[in-house]
Structure 1
Amino acid sequence: RQCPQWWAMGRQLYENEPLFNEWIHLIDGEMTKINNGEWKLFKELIEKKTEQESRINDLNAAQPTLFAIQVALAALLISWNIYPPSIISHSAGDQAAAFVAARLSLEEAVRVVYHRLRLQNRNTRQGGRMLAVSMSEEEVENKLLKDIEHLVCITIVNSLRSLTISGDEIQQILSISYPNVFKARLRIENAFHYIKWIDLKLKKIYEAANVFLEISPHPVLAKSIRECYELTNQQQSSPLILPTLKRKENEQITLLPTKNYEEYFNDFLLYKFHLSPCWYESKDSSVQRLANRISIHPLLGIRQLNEQTSATWKSLININLLQYSFLKDHKIQDAILFPAVAYLDLATAACQQLLSPKEDDQTTATSNYF
């Protein structure tokens, strides 16, 4: 459908996805052949540096660039093993859909785009507007179009509560008659759409499918797809509707949910994980955890578990603290010295710890911890 376009659409994919890049150049080449180099799709789609420079909302730029984006997106999805069982086209998306469905060759599809534009350009100066409105077809025909059929007509029926009307001054008429109705003017220069048509085969498609992927630079049909699906299925279930791109959002991240992840992860071994307990703990962690379960000598401190062959302990002694204040009493000529008997006490305490049963055994530690 036309009007999801914006000036920088597809550029991130062009820069980061080689296949997308390849298709843009391929379509640009076909476009250049048929228009004799009058207009370069690549220049409009990729080279414009600012929104002010862009002519993306010009009818002559919008439809060819949308066609290129849709075809390149479809090629990228197919390379990810995403093949749709059915393809539904809407409005200006008809040519891209016909090519992807293999009903037209790329050359034929590009020719349709070119000649469709050529015929539409004959009416460029005749004016007219197109407006998307949230009204039913019955409301528009019986109320809005009453007495002004010569000015306005229904051109697109998107769903029960969404359609597009074409004509002169339609926005002003609608604003006066129905000020609270949602309306959005399509960003085009003149009304161009063919009259509405109905394909009864669509009902079968909506009955069979429950996942819809909108191939577009910005999602504009999600609400209409949902309404059509729920009508066909009598609201018994809800469809999954995925966008491919969103305006001004990272294109690769937006497209990522559509990927077939099984293609990348189907080789993983499926086995039952071992559920037996496995306790692993560093030596430092073991010392800290078991410190409050081992009786610590006030002067010896905590044993250090390291790679040294000899046993070592670490203790911080501050004689200004109450528990060490007794050391101040051992003085010789006003100099505080560590008592010799304290060294004997330290040696005795160290031997007791070395000869006592190990408390950091895995089983004991685990049972004590829990």
Structure 2
Amino acid sequence: MTTSTPAGHARVAADAPHGPAGGRTALVFSGQGNQWLGMGRDLMAREPSVRAVLETADDVLLGATGWSLLGELAASEGESQLADPAVLQPTLVALQIALAGLLAERGLVADHFVGHSLGEIAAAAAAGALDLPEALHLARLRGELMRKAVGTGRTALLGVDAERAEALIAVYGGGADVAAWNAPEATLVAGDAGTVEAVVAELTGREVFARTLPGDIAFHSRFLEPLRTEFTEAARGLLVPRPTSGRVVSTVTGTLLEGGTDSDYWAANLREPVRFVQAVDTLLELGCRTFVEIGPHPTLGPSLTDCCAHRGVTPLVLPTLRRGEGEQENVLRTLWELRRTGAVRAAAPAGGHRVRFLTAVTAETPPPALRGRQAQFAARAAAKALTALGAAVPGDGAATATVTWDSTDDLAPEAASVVAAPVAPGADTAAVYARTPGTDWLRLATARPGTGTVPTLPDPAELTARCTARRYVADTAVASAAQDADDVLVRLRPGTGTGRRAHLELAVRITAAVLGAHAPIELCDVTGYDDTVAGDRVHVARMADGTARTTVLDAAGRPLLHIARSAWRTRHTAADPVTAPAPAAAGTTEAAALDLDALRAADPATRLTLLTDWVREAAAAMLRTGVDRVPALKPLNRLGVDSVIGLELRRRVAAVFGAEISVVRLLRGATPADLAADLDDWLTDTPDAGPGTAPVCSAPGAVGPGPDLDDPADIERLLDDLDALSPEEVDSLLGRLADDAASEI
């Protein structure tokens, strides 16, 4: 068995960009092993297209197997059959196909598709080489055959290359095969249990990573050869050959998959080793630099990164779902990241259907998923409060109620418990309490009777005639939106929701999206009219003080729910109402967008908070993660900030503030709060400075800006003795070398 990369795949295309912002995009479908109880539930509840795919898949599988896909996704731990490969494999394939469809619906245009082991079935379906029933029947058949593979041997993951793995197998009797080339230094081996365990023990004794995987199946090895013929015969007649249009890269061969696939190919997918390294080499040669992993939890990211690094390429690798986390939020975060970095283009899918969500997202657009989740949670709390108060009842002239938030803590919606009750027997005030596991109950909000003022309701016909300027509103319930001055009229997607809670949630979510706000501070004079009809439109009127007036309307223009006034907060500001920012003009820079004079005029605590938030957001953008994953007091070097990212952060600070920060200070454990304090000192000490000047923001006690390093001999001397350098010298050296490298690209 050879482990060399197929000829022609060792060279990375010379004209392909080597950075994460360029190149083509590949969808990478993971195999089994990353499943978790509850996967897919959030997406089914929030994304109609995902539910439609899974419902169709349920019909296909129910007729063929007698078990329900939707039932499995909703099953409890004691009811779940996902341990059975005949259930697990078609379930994973269905979820992956639904995920790929959701990404396409939101504007992601993939150039190539690749799948690891089982994931190749979903990859072929997403590329159009299989239809949904064919993919499901193949996965079902594959899973049923895997039942017969139990007892064939063991599988282990080794932290060595395939050549060394083969050599060790030979030493211990040769009773195993290379089952997968996962990465240049990560190899899967499978076969006789004695051979596999001996190899693992040998490497463990040498302090080299080696781990035997659970179960007793020798995946992708000679021990599955008896299943190849059975698979070929059983799958014959299931498939209608369809061309792949040169878009699928096979992990059976490691090369582009030409033409369609037949039963022989899918039998080989079960038996042959997974040539993932070779497939990634092919994708790199084709110009792919962005990789989106399709699956319930990211497992291929490290392998992708290592494969690319081996070829001298820095990729952008993004997940879709993560175990136990909000699924819609994670998908939207990845889509936002792709749009923000310019890694992909948004285009209307076949049939001319309008692409939702990404059509108007730019580099300045904040991630809407975070805002939407907290607004939705706030609506849930408000609905509980109104129910407890008994104030909002169907019918014209219904009583009004006001909900005021007593806490601005952001609780994780999927983990929070919420209760509401009158504050005392017979009281006309109700309180809402919430907690997450391991925390005490928190008083979240208070509901009281409203003023009873009869609201001024909008005239739907007049609004429709006046609101003609197209407007983007980042919410999954929105079909379209139009604006006139401070009035925004949103048309909802069909079947969005019926009932008081659904109407309130729509009002709160849409208002948050229109204002660019995070969560409400107060909802004043909430009036419910009819909770038996589905919402059709939402009108949001922005007030001069940053508050809003919101009305949910039915298809005939009748009011269903009205909020006379709502006050809001941003993600990082606890109490101040927010006014939605005007769209940035083309070419607007971050330096121009930040008002340094306003920062200097702010009180010290506010200024330091704003600077800390700015550093966190800048670092999060460079680390390609959410700002919530960059704590203010955590050292940036522990979050992944290295010298390259440090240099980019230094350039960003220089562009915005006209100051320099020390890269060495970053590498030695500075936190976002530390850098914010440095910038605060500089802002208050240099009132006339701005972009174009560049004093050094360094750690206390640092001296001078360091040498200019114009002499190549100085650079050679410094490279020979980096440990003896001052922070200023290292910063200057890194900056000079980075500039030199940039000039050669």
Give the TM-score normalised by structure 1: 0.65
Residue type of the partner of 2:62? Answer: T
Q: Deviations over 1:288-315 (max 9, x none)?
A: xxxxxxxxxxxxxxxxxxxxxxxxxxxx
Match of 2:288 among 209, 218, 237: 209
Residues 160-201 of structure 1, C-alpha deviations (whole Å, 9 max, x = no match): 111211124366324421113323444555234357844244
Deviation at 1:32, TM superposition (A): 1.8
State how far apart, in whole Å, the 2-side matches of 1:127 and 1:272 are. Answer: 62
1:257 equivalent in structure 2: 333
Structure 1 residues 187 and 24: CA distance shift in structure 2, 3 A: farther
SS at match of 2:50: helix
2:90 is the alignment partner of 1:64: yes
SS of match in other structure, 1:88: strand
| C-alpha contact 2:183 2:304 (8 A) present in aligned 1 | yes
| Cα pair distance change 1:145/1:41, threshold 3 Å | farther
Q: Which moved more, 1:139-148 or 1:179-188?
A: 179-188
Highest CA radius of gyration, 1 or 2?
1
- Going from structure 1 to structure 2, the CA distance change for 1:107 and 1:24 (only over 3 Å counts) comes to same
Letter in 1 for 2:120: D
Match for residue 162 of structure 2? 137
The equivalent residue for 2:217 is 190
Counterpart in the other structure of 2:303: 224
Aligned residue for 1:270?
585
Amino acid at match of 1:85: D
- Residues 105-254 of structure 1: matches in 2 within 5 Å? 105-124=131-150, 126-150=151-175, 152-169=176-193, 172-179=197-204, 180-188=207-215, 190-193=217-220, 197-201=252-256, 202=279, 203-207=281-285, 208-232=287-311, 235=312, 237-254=313-330
The one-letter amino acid of 1:199's match is G
Is contact 1:57–1:187 with CA below 8 Å preserved after alignment? no
Q: How does 1:79-98 map to 2 (within 5 A)?
A: 79-98=105-124
Change (3 A) 1:182 1:271: closer
Separation in 2, partners of 1:251, 1:4 = 15
Q: Secondary structure at the match of 1:71?
A: helix
Mapped to 2, the partners of 1:171 and 1:142 lie a distance apart of 13
Matched, 1:8 2:38: yes
SS in 2 for 1:178: helix
Do the aligned partners of 2:157 and 2:210 also contact (CA within 8 Å) in 1?
yes
Whichever residue aligns with residue 220 of structure 1, its letter is T
Q: Deviations over 1:141-170 (max 9, x none)?
A: 1124423212x2111111211121112436
Larger CA deviation: 64-73 vs 159-168: 159-168
The residue type paired with residue 47 of structure 2 is E
The number of residues matched between the two structures is: 270
- What code does the residue aligned with 1:45 have? L
Structure 2 distance, partners of 1:26, 1:188, is 32
**Residues of 2 paired with 1:272 and 1:140: CA distance?**
54
TM-score by length of 2: 0.34
Shift in CA distance, 187/147, structure 1 to aligned 2, threshold 3 Å: closer
CA deviations over 1:209-266 (Å, ceiling 9, x no partner): 111000011111111111222233xx1x310100111112222222222225551346
Aligned 8 A contact 1:217 1:245 in 2: yes
CA deviations on 1:333-368 (whole Å, 9 max, x unpaired) are xxxxxxxxxxxxxxxxxxxxxxxxxxxxxxxxxxxx
Counterpart of 2:369 in structure 1 is none
**How far does the alpha carbon of each residue in 1:50-96 deviate from its partner, in whole angstroms, 9 at most, with x for none?**
3x443323322221121111011111111101121011111010111
**Is 1:28 the counterpart of 2:58 in the alignment?**
yes
Between the aligned partners of 1:187 and 1:76, the Cα distance in structure 2 is: 32
Counterpart of 2:254, as a letter, is D
CA contact (8 A) 2:94 2:136 kept: no
Paired residue secondary structure (2:118) = helix
RMSD (Å), alpha carbons? 2.9
Tell me, yes or no, if the aligned pair for 1:133 and 1:164 is still in contact at 8 Å.
yes
SS in 1 for 2:323: coil
C-alpha displacement of 1:6 = 1.3
Whole-angstrom distance in 2 between the partners of 1:271 and 1:137: 51
State the shift of 1:45 in Å. Answer: 1.8
User: Which residue does 1:101 correspond to in 2?
Assistant: 127
Counterpart residue identity of residue 69, structure 2: L
Distance in 2 between residues matched to 1:272 and 1:7, nearest whole Å? 46
Provide the C-alpha distance between the structure 2 equivalents of 1:197 and 1:265, rounded to a whole number of angstroms. 38
Query: Match of 1:257, SS?
Result: helix
Name which structure has the greater RCO, CA cutoff 8 Å, separation 6+: 1
Taking a change above 3 Å as real, the CA distance of residues 188 and 6 of structure 1, as seen in their structure-2 partners, is farther
Distance 1:119 1:263, change over 3 A: same
Using the alignment, how far apart are the partners of 2:587 and 2:210 within structure 1? 57
In the TM superposition, 1:38-49 aligns within 5 A as 39-46=67-74, 48-49=75-76
Identity among equivalent positions (%) equals 29
Structure with greater proportional strand content: 2
Q: 1:109 to 1:258 in 2, by over 3 A?
A: same
Cα distance in structure 1, aligned partners of 2:188 and 2:142: 20
Contact between 2:203 and 2:210, CA under 8 Å: does it hold in 1?
no
**Are the counterparts in 1 of residues 177 and 189 from structure 2 also a CA contact under 8 Å?**
yes
Unaligned runs of 5+ in 1: 278-370
1:272 and 1:146, CA in 2 relative to 1: closer, same or farther beyond 3 A?
A: closer
Residue ranges of structure 2 left out of the alignment (5+ in a row)? 1-30, 223-250, 257-278, 340-357, 363-470, 472-582, 596-745
